[in-house]
Amino acid sequence: MLFSGSLSSVNASKMTVKNLTKNDLPNVKILATGGTIAGSSQSSTDTTGYESGALDIKTIIKAVPELKKLANVSGEQIVNIGSQNINNSILLKLAKRINTLLASKDVDGIVVTHGTDTLEETAYFLNLVVKSQKPVVIVGSMRPATAISADGPLNLYNAVEIASSKEAKDKGVLVTLNDRIGAARYITKTNTTATDTFKSAEQGYVGEIAGGKVVFYNEPIRKHTTKSIFNVSKLDKLPQVDILYTYQNDNRYLYDAAVNAGAKGIVVAGSGNGSMSDTALEGAKDAVKKGVVITKSSRVGSGIVTHEASDDKDKFVTSDSLNPQKARILLMLALTKTKNPKKIQDYFDEY
């Protein structure tokens, strides 16, 4: 049975929802990309070996009938894959579709179902390129639909409730799992399998769902959506940006390989405050000489990579508090505007 043992939670949370007519309800579009929330297994105790993206969005919506009391919900399948296979082409397709839908007066909010492995990357990309103040909420789950205590149904219910909320407008792209609401800029996956994996360790959540109500208590202050200069409406591809990880006894050959493979930018997942070994530093400096933009991030997981005088000398960019995977997203978009490291540094300071 789909979503076994999980709908009782949804039933409890819907108690506060008023009985509105169809015409009174907001119109929310759910765009599906697959992932665990659409996963299925023959065993109800299987939470890791399931088939990702096995269910289509119509099946998922049908399994949560309580959604009808929140909004006029309709679904659209963009792709149906594990999020590890989301690529730049899919990001562009999704962003363009969202902007088209939100430009219509018949759509009040968007929910995107997504696998959790790269959910934060898609969320941050959309945070920079969506051109609307209407709510966009990214949601996933850590347990497949067939699992005991599947978390997908209530997560989806919460996402639709957020997307239906007037208070969610102009807050940028939001992420919700486990009753929390995170800003795309700050939220990240922190645990491989736990349902409370998505956290905003330094900046905190922007809100939560409590007692069936959407409550906000923080605002994301970095530029996003309508205040962002990045526009993908006329783009059919994005610049190649690679991520290179630092470690003891690393070498420069990965930098050389990335340059030879056509990288326009490289994000360094540095140790500590973005530090690099002498040999890696040589590779990075030579990459800059060949027109590649180097951005220093950190493999630590939290904290700001500070910008030093040596970075100006080397013409390096630093990522502020963006982790490597999100720094890659911003660097890709920055490179559609300029190759000037000083201007790109401004983007990292602003976004």
Determine how many CB atoms are found less than 10 A away from the CB of residue 105.
7
Query: What is the pLDDT, as a whole number, of residue 23?
Result: 78
Predicted confidence (pLDDT) per residue in 184-213, tens digit: 999 999 999 999 999 998 999 999 999 999
pLDDT of residue 21: 73
Q: Which CATH architecture has domain 241-350?
A: 3-Layer(aba) Sandwich (3.40)
CB atoms within 10 A of CB 90: 16
Q: Within the chain, where are the H helices? A: 7-13, 57-62, 88-102, 119-129, 152-163, 253-260, 278-289, 309-314, 324-334, 341-350
Tell me what pLDDT residue 14 has: 46
Per-residue pLDDT of the chain (351 residues; tens, 9 = 90+): 465 444 444 444 444 445 567 778 999 999 999 999 999 998 999 889 898 889 999 999 999 999 999 999 999 999 999 999 999 999 999 999 999 999 999 999 999 999 999 999 999 999 999 999 999 999 999 999 999 999 999 999 999 999 999 999 999 999 999 999 999 999 999 999 999 999 998 999 999 999 999 999 999 999 999 999 999 999 999 999 999 999 999 999 999 999 999 999 999 999 999 999 999 999 999 999 999 999 999 999 999 999 999 999 999 999 999 999 999 999 999 999 999 999 999 999 999
> CATH says 7-227 is which class?
alpha beta
Q: What local confidence, expressed as pLDDT, does residue 4 receive?
A: 45
Tell me where in the chain the CATH 3.40.50.40 domain(s) lie. 241-350
Provide the pLDDT for residue 20. Answer: 61
Residue span(s) of the chain under CATH 3.40.50.1170 come to 7-227
- Distance CA(328)–CA(332), nearest Å, equals 6
Q: How far apart are CA 3 and CA 109, in angstroms?
A: 25
pLDDT of residue 347: 98
- By annotation, the residues acting in catalysis are 36
